[in-house]
Amino acid sequence: KQLSKSGIHRPTQGGICGGALDCAESVCLSGGYPEDEDGGNVIIYTGQGGQDPNTKRQIKDQELTRGNVGLKISFEERTPIRVIRGAGLSSRWAPDSGYRYDGLFYVTGFWDAIGRDGF
């Protein structure tokens, strides 16, 4: 809620802020998708959508809508996005507790791939 109130990452639930019609503003890395990878200065971010809210398993393909479109637009326009890391992230760069703003990053590519759950 503090991230939302401060404007750093406005959604109180959801990993991508912005999109659909404009650039993404921020992403929050919190361990939501098993395919996410955090290499410190290089992050592979799965996007949003297709996940069962109870099991956290992927149950359908993601679509190029909402925040996923925002990330694509950020890539095309070379617009930086804020990255926030959460303690739930399995990464040596994750904070011990809470959430932390870790700076501006650029989207340098995007692609379709089949994830661990087959979508």
- pTM for the model stands at 0.91
Which amino acid makes up residue 113?
Answer: A
- Contact criterion met (CB below 8 Å) for 108 and 44: no
Q: Block means of pLDDT (10 residues each) for the chain, length 119 residues?
A: 90 88 95 91 95 91 95 97 94 95 97 93
